[in-house]
Amino acid sequence: MNIREKIIQETEDTPDGILSEVLDYLQYLKVKHQQGMMETALLSETILQKDWLKPAEEVAWQNL
């Protein structure tokens, strides 16, 4: 049984009040994960910008 199936099985006899809290927490975790990915992308952009601005990069990409 995989994790998704285990979660579904656990929800079968769980009261709605608890399921509401579980849903809130799941949504919070998804947003937190997305924000972490965005933050990583923005930090990477700053670091990679040094290479992007080199004249050699301009030459390499000029035909695209």
pLDDT at 27: 95
Q: Domain limits at 44?
A: 3-61
* Spatial separation of the C-alpha atoms in residues 42 and 35, rounded to whole Å: 10
Those residues with Cβ within 8 angstroms of residue 27's Cβ, 6 or more apart along the chain or in another chain: none
pLDDT at 25: 96
Domain count, the chain: 1
For residue 18, count other CB atoms closer than 10 A to its CB. 11
pLDDT at 3: 96
* Spatial separation of the C-alpha atoms in residues 43 and 33, rounded to whole Å: 15
* Spatial separation of the C-alpha atoms in residues 50 and 12, rounded to whole Å: 53
What digits encode the pLDDT tens for the residues 4-32?
A: 999 999 999 999 999 999 999 999 999 98
pLDDT at 40: 81
What digits encode the pLDDT tens for the residues 33-48?
A: 888 888 887 778 777 7
Higher-scoring residue by pLDDT: 52, 13: 13
Q: Which two tokens stand for residue 15?
A: 């009261």
